Amino acid sequence: MVTTTLHAAANFLPGPGADWDWFINLSASDYPLVTQDDLMDVFSRLPRDLNFIDHTSDTGRKASSRAMAGIVDPGLWKNDTEKQELPTAFTLFKGSAWTVLSRPFVKYLIRGWNNLPRTLLVSYANLVSSPEAYFHTMACNAEEFRNTTVNHDMRYIFWGDFPAHQPELINSSHWDRMLDSDAPFACKFGQDDPVLDRIDVGLLSRQPGMLAPGSWSIGDTGGDGSFWIVRDATPLRPGPGAARLQRLVTSLLSEDNFRPNQCKLVDDNA
């Protein structure tokens, strides 16, 4: 998944459509809680080098179960108990697989001007759950980017009671907690769960079979709600979602949260 994400991001770097500031990796499990205008309105006021990466250096047991265990073709390797040594050239970090990466950071990952991006890519290429560690380790070990990390993945995810290895499916009982999170995205949802319709109507002003309205479109041009024409997305038309997202961003960048939670080294022996 790491190489797939990097390949996708690399495709956006050159060419006429390269005027962007952040790369957001989304999956089929994600659903927006804000409109595009809400998102662009808030992010337009942020420093362009910020990277939203939920991370910690407290890897615990996962250091051995993930960072030391490589994935190999059983036809080529028979000893499935073989472990590789933990790296000493950099500090391991882990966290959420979902990130919002700045253009400068993506550029560094793709065109890295030193050996760190290539070294980590080789190290993480065949590791268990590499998307939950590669970008985190990369950002926190690169001097140019360790001070740009915001410790949040911009998602509402409900893990339930410990030890939960998969998030609970979101339904209407999560509504208040989901909104109180102020996150711009949420996951995971059950197929055709009614809460999705509630999000469409209550948060996105999206009608059935139509796209969420915004400054990027001029609306229904065919009379049946199925034709939308993309245009210059200015001026933006943010709604209540922008206020929620702004509240989250303001909290994350506050004096109490930003620097103290940034690439913090945890003493496993403490």
pTM equals: 0.84
* 114 vs 108: CA distance, rounded Å: 9
**CA distances (Å), origin 186, targets 8, 156, 167:** 22, 4, 11
Handedness of CA 148, 56, 90, 119 (dihedral sign): negative
Domain ranges of the chain: 1-270
* 99 vs 6: CA distance, rounded Å: 12
Which residues contact residue 94 at a Cβ distance below 8 angstroms, ignoring those fewer than 6 apart?
A: 55, 56, 59, 62, 66, 132, 133, 136, 137
Q: Are 99 and 52 in contact (CB under 8 A)?
A: yes
Q: What angle do CA 150, 251, 155 make, to 5 degrees?
A: 60
* 213 vs 234: CA distance, rounded Å: 13
Q: Please report the DSSP string for 39-64 in residue order.
A: HHHHHTTS-TT-EE--EES--TTHHH
* 112 vs 129: CA distance, rounded Å: 23
* 199 vs 206: CA distance, rounded Å: 9
Q: What is the pLDDT along the chain (270 residues), one digit of tens a residue?
A: 888 899 999 988 886 667 899 999 998 899 999 999 999 999 999 999 999 999 998 876 555 455 444 444 444 444 554 555 555 667 889 999 999 999 999 999 998 877 888 888 887 766 777 889 999 999 999 999 999 999 999 999 998 776 656 789 999 999 999 999 999 999 999 999 999 999 999 999 988 877 787 877 665 555 555 555 666 667 888 999 999 999 999 999 999 999 999 998 876 544
